[in-house]
Structure 1
Amino acid sequence: MPKSAFADEKLRQILERSDENASFTIGDQAIFNISLLRSFYQDSQFRFLWHTKQGRPNAMALELVDTIASIDDEGLLPNDYHYKLLQELDTLSEIDRELVLSDAFLTLVSHLKAGKTDAQQIKSEWKSIPKARDPSPQLIQLVSTQSLSKVLADVRPADARYAVMKQALISLRKLTEVEWLPLTLSPVIKTIGASDPRIVDIATRLKLLNELPPEWNNTVYDEELFAAVKQFQQRHGLKEDGVLGKESLKALNITPTDRVRALTVNLERFRWLDEKLGNKYVLVNIAGFYLRVIENNELMLEMPVIVGREFRKTPVFSDKIRYLVMNPQWVVPTTLAVEDKLPAIKADPNYLKHFGFSVYEGSSRTATDPNDIDWNRVTKRNFNFRLVQDAGPLNALGQIKFMFPNEFDVYLHDTPARELFAQAQRDFSSGCIRVSAPLLLAENLLAGTEWNVDRIKLQLSSSETKTVHLKQVVPVHIEYWTAFADINGVMNFRADIYKRDAVLYAAMQQPLF
């Protein structure tokens, strides 16, 4: 009997004897996908996928080993895909090699398709529709195409930003052995022509980060270094003033190792995401404090936003903007009413009147005179009121809110506190997203309808509350990126305001074996 036929028969015997409920190991490593492997090889009549007729690893097998060897370029761990065993292919039997290679392929495909980790198990504030994780179709595709590179390319995120982030990870990993001693955070360097003993170290870092040409050679804060600092500030979400103050110096102190970790977790977030964003959609990056409107892969509109504070985080999820409300009232959520408004009411008897609030007791539709209520006897436990703020210049929602009803009661809206948009880090809200240019956003979303900008302005100038439904719903994606490639393919980094990166990185580093 030819060796290959004997091997096929032996493979059948091994798989058919494997217990559905028992672990299956090769060496000291578990074979995770034994059920999928049993089905696949039964359907393929136990033909080998990874071997030549002579029983040697074929070109695809060797390509898979090379791919896994460099998979840390995408923030994944080679040893999660049997790399220890794959380095010793010649010591394995033909059957063991076949099963180890197939199992490594299946696990790798699953992770590239949907991530190694589960988004909702890592953080409850990340609500996403689970992506299809089953790697079986790719194993069948591999049989038909005999092209490992094509199959893996098809399951990786197709967005060009993923490739930019991957390349940034490769580049930054090369810097992890460079000494990166902390720069002192004072005094401030702000004047062109200034001298400071830190200038040389600052310039060295900016050269390594490709912000400053390698041929730059000076000992003072000249115009070229000033421009490089501004570019660095822009990429890190800092005030772009060229002043090397505390925040800019802290950003320069972040080591390449820390940046590698940030890229590792953000590449994983990319793998979590559904790539069907829509032809036109609104994207909010919580950590980046910005909103973008994208249409046919073109940036149509961008603006600063204000997001939730650390203890009232803006959640991550996707939905569809369905309608706008102009001159909205604000029905204060109960949590905010008892935690924020009740202390303010007790401190200032005129608070409700000054800010235009009506008070309703229980489910009553008739307003109660707030002066008839002994607020000092009202507590969080017995609070039984609805607070409704009238439309107007002091309304917390401003002049427009953009509605996509959801379980979090989060939406986009205007704000009277416009001075906060001048801050670089803008986590001031109670969870909703305040937009800096609501009129521009409304004009964009209502384009092609009778609601042109003049009609919108006319409506806003009145005191009438008006609900306007979009002609076609627009997807909105609220995301959290601390490292990302912008629309021009330039890498950006942001502070981890919700302290999520460390938790995800720890989960990413947990070995499967």
Structure 2
Amino acid sequence: MAPKITKTSLILGFGLLLSTGVNVAQDNVVQETVRLEIELLSSSGHLHFRGIEVASGNLLVEIYENRRFRPAWTDLDQVDELLTAIETTAADGLDPADYHLEQVRTGYRQLLAGDVTTAIARAELDVLFTDSLIRLVYHQRFGKLNPYTLDPQWNFRRDLDGVSAAAAIQSMIDADSLLYRLQSLFPRGRFYEQLRQSLARYREIEANGGWPEFPEGPTLKPGMVDNRVPVLARRLAVTGDLDTDAVAAADTTYTEIIEAGVRRFQKRHGIDVDGVIGPTTARVLNVPVSRRVRQLEINLERARWVFDDITDNFIIVNIAGFTAYVVRDREVVWQTRVQVGSTYHQSPVFRDEMKYLVLNPTWTVPYSIATKEILPQIQSEPDYFAKRDFDVKDRNGKLVDPESIEWSELSRRNFPYTLVQRPGPNNALGRVKFMFPNEHAVYLHDTPSKSLFGRAERAFSHGCIRVEHPFEFAEILLGADGWTQDRFQEVLDSGEIKTVFLSKPMPVMLLYWTAQVDPGGDVHFYQDIYERDQRIEDGLDSEFVMDLPESGD
């Protein structure tokens, strides 16, 4: 059994090194001291110094073993770049303290001043800097939180592109510019960068005192005269929804110019765009800037979870924003309103690949919907089947005449049938469905419930995503293969159930973001309909825990 290593034995070991008659170079002494530190970490699982606990455990051990315990931080410029990277993490909604900001800053200053004179001090700083780098790399690449702990069905990739974690960190240490390599780890692309810029802007608004509170009062409509109008104009101007010239000209009349600013504000905040300041708009106007800053930080964390796992071309559905996007060459080329799962039937967050479309689809009713929702309607409406296009099948898949069934004797526990809705304009899936087979049985589809797209909040489905303009979407996906609106219509008119495969499967990501930036650069904030923000906020505020993704080796 190996002897137990303690901090005391480490110090004694260092003293033995200095007391030998051999002329040991200082760097060799530091190397041996690093070895003792790492052996202490390996044997006990803990390492404390300079007021911190080293948290990267086995990975730190592997890195130094691969280096044969040679110090990693022998270049002060390298340490300076590490410090700069730590200081700028706040711009991404991360906490610099998680990366030992004060300890790294103090150590850097001591090294500059030549005040680090002992091997123990140099070894501790070396290990400290490496632990800081590991923390930084993983948070920049994957986020502070492990999304799997929030959602066990999470299936986005979370690894290091086929290299071991130790090799990835070593490549950072060996880079000509550590800062450049670190910055390149952040999710790149417009979605992330515009969120980051919005965070900076809203923090600036917060630093300047935020925005004025819109006073309570009766509903305010365009054309009315009200003493609150100048306050409304100033409030809109702070967030860029109204030009500052309009503020200077504002009196107590609610003008068309101010109405346009209100409509822009309403659109950006996912509320009914009517220009009327009712209770909902008044409440949203008075959400404090600190809350908006926090929303941006939360959604930057969400972005770090997924933007390591995207290609140049993909489909995104923002569940909280009730919008779907088609992205090509990382630019949004098309978008549409969607309806998503209700709070009781929440749409899941996951990634898959769209493979085909079905025109004139049938709808096989899930057992839970058939027994909980449709069966009571059948039992209360004698002519239910005469009004709707349903077939009834037994357990062998054979058609059964619904008039031959004693529906009153059936229940949720006794329902030996399958309901299948025939193709047609009244089909629950509409005239087309977009398939990316998955364990959730969730997909995108048309809907006969078109009127619901006029609502600002559109959480109505059983989990699937209903698309407002499905055949525009279909043409975006299949246009290169010769599919036009006329060709789609021919198939619809024929009544034929037709499956059409995409020439190349296209990644689909169902995400849940309560803040995002639209293609025009305007930041949007959405209601947290599924109440998922708080757990991320709590996680961002929690103590640091190293939760390493799988290595690719």
TM-score, length-scaled by structure 1: 0.92
Check 1:179–1:163 CA distance in 2 against 1; reply closer, same or farther (3 A cut): closer
Q: Structure 2: how far apart are the matches of 1:273 and 1:16?
A: 36
Farther-moved stretch of structure 1 (62-71 vs 103-112): 62-71
Q: 1:259 aligns with which of 292, 297, 306?
A: 292
Q: Structure 2: how far apart are the matches of 1:127 and 1:186?
A: 48
Does residue 1:60 correspond to 2:91, yes or no?
Answer: no
Q: Structure 2: how far apart are the matches of 1:383 and 1:99?
A: 65
Contact in 2 for aligned 1:282/1:474 (Cα 8 Å): yes
Check 1:15–1:214 CA distance in 2 against 1; reply closer, same or farther (3 A cut): same
Does residue 1:479 correspond to 2:518, yes or no?
Answer: no
Farther-moved stretch of structure 1 (423-432 vs 162-171): 162-171
Aligned to 1:81: 99
Aligned to 1:160: 190
Q: Secondary structure at the match of 1:226?
A: helix
Aligned to 2:474: 442
Aligned to 1:213: 243
Aligned to 1:171: 201
Check 1:185–1:424 CA distance in 2 against 1; reply closer, same or farther (3 A cut): farther
Aligned to 1:226: 259
Does residue 1:317 correspond to 2:350, yes or no?
Answer: yes
Check 1:384–1:188 CA distance in 2 against 1; reply closer, same or farther (3 A cut): same
Contact in 1 for aligned 2:212/2:235 (Cα 8 Å): no
Check 1:486–1:356 CA distance in 2 against 1; reply closer, same or farther (3 A cut): same
Q: 1:502 aligns with which of 534, 537, 541?
A: 534
Contact in 1 for aligned 2:141/2:308 (Cα 8 Å): no
Aligned to 1:248: 281
1:245, distance to aligned residue in structure 2 (A): 2.5
Aligned to 1:55: none
Check 1:19–1:302 CA distance in 2 against 1; reply closer, same or farther (3 A cut): closer
Q: 1:284 aligns with which of 295, 317, 323?
A: 317
Q: After superposition, what is the alpha-carbon deviation per residue over 1:97-117, rounded to whole angstroms, capped at 9, x for unaligned? A: 111111011011111111111
Letter in 1 for 2:158: P
Contact in 2 for aligned 1:75/1:267 (Cα 8 Å): yes
Q: Structure 2: how far apart are the matches of 1:182 and 1:123?
A: 37
1:389, distance to aligned residue in structure 2 (A): 0.7
1:318, distance to aligned residue in structure 2 (A): 1.5
Q: After superposition, what is the alpha-carbon deviation per residue over 1:414-461, rounded to whole angstroms, capped at 9, x for unaligned? A: 111111111111111111111111111122222232433322101101
Letter in 1 for 2:137: V
Aligned to 2:36: 13
Letter in 1 for 2:145: T
Check 1:191–1:17 CA distance in 2 against 1; reply closer, same or farther (3 A cut): closer
Does residue 1:351 correspond to 2:379, yes or no?
Answer: no
Name the structure with the higher helix share. Answer: 2
Aligned to 1:116: 144
Check 1:190–1:101 CA distance in 2 against 1; reply closer, same or farther (3 A cut): same
1:284, distance to aligned residue in structure 2 (A): 1.1
Q: Structure 2: how far apart are the matches of 1:11 and 1:242?
A: 66
Farther-moved stretch of structure 1 (39-48 vs 487-496): 39-48
Farther-moved stretch of structure 1 (298-307 vs 182-191): 182-191
Q: Structure 1: how far apart are the matches of 2:225 and 2:79?
A: 58
Larger radius of gyration: 2
Q: Structure 2: how far apart are the matches of 1:460 and 1:166?
A: 45
Q: Structure 2: how far apart are the matches of 1:132 and 1:40?
A: 15
Aligned to 1:29: 52
Q: Structure 2: how far apart are the matches of 1:169 and 1:341?
A: 47
Q: Structure 2: how far apart are the matches of 1:180 and 1:448?
A: 49
1:288, distance to aligned residue in structure 2 (A): 1.2
Aligned to 2:18: none
TM-score, length-scaled by structure 2: 0.85
Q: 2:441 aligns with which of 409, 414, 423?
A: 409
Q: Structure 1: how far apart are the matches of 2:57 and 2:427?
A: 60
Letter in 2 for 1:29: I
Contact in 1 for aligned 2:42/2:61 (Cα 8 Å): no
Q: Structure 2: how far apart are the matches of 1:414 and 1:77?
A: 43
In the alignment, structure 1 segments of 5+ residues that lack a partner are 53-57
Check 1:450–1:151 CA distance in 2 against 1; reply closer, same or farther (3 A cut): closer
Check 1:285–1:17 CA distance in 2 against 1; reply closer, same or farther (3 A cut): closer
Q: Structure 1: how far apart are the matches of 2:331 and 2:191?
A: 14
CA RMSD of aligned residues (A): 2.4
Q: Structure 2: how far apart are the matches of 1:204 and 1:66?
A: 37
Q: Structure 1: how far apart are the matches of 2:105 and 2:45?
A: 26
Q: 1:204 aligns with which of 215, 234, 246?
A: 234
Letter in 1 for 2:131: D
The within-5 A match list for 1:266-415 is 266-361=299-394, 363-415=395-447
Q: Secondary structure at the match of 1:206?
A: helix
1:472, distance to aligned residue in structure 2 (A): 2.1
Does residue 1:94 correspond to 2:117, yes or no?
Answer: no
Q: Structure 2: how far apart are the matches of 1:10 and 1:285?
A: 52
Check 1:479–1:301 CA distance in 2 against 1; reply closer, same or farther (3 A cut): same
Farther-moved stretch of structure 1 (269-278 vs 124-133): 124-133
Farther-moved stretch of structure 1 (213-222 vs 316-325): 213-222
Contact in 1 for aligned 2:40/2:47 (Cα 8 Å): no
Q: Secondary structure at the match of 1:468?
A: strand
Check 1:141–1:46 CA distance in 2 against 1; reply closer, same or farther (3 A cut): same
Q: Secondary structure at the match of 1:446?
A: helix
Q: After superposition, what is the alpha-carbon deviation per residue over 1:154-180, rounded to whole angstroms, capped at 9, x for unaligned? A: 211011332221222233234446366
Q: After superposition, what is the alpha-carbon deviation per residue over 1:254-292, rounded to whole angstroms, capped at 9, x for unaligned? A: 111111221111111111104453343222111111112
Check 1:135–1:248 CA distance in 2 against 1; reply closer, same or farther (3 A cut): farther
Contact in 2 for aligned 1:161/1:489 (Cα 8 Å): no
Letter in 2 for 1:230: R
In the alignment, structure 2 segments of 5+ residues that lack a partner are 1-23, 546-553
Q: Secondary structure at the match of 1:302?
A: strand
Does residue 1:69 correspond to 2:87, yes or no?
Answer: yes
Farther-moved stretch of structure 1 (16-25 vs 224-233): 16-25
Check 1:70–1:298 CA distance in 2 against 1; reply closer, same or farther (3 A cut): closer
1:349, distance to aligned residue in structure 2 (A): 2.0
State the identity as a percent.
Answer: 33
Q: Secondary structure at the match of 1:474?
A: strand
Aligned to 2:549: none
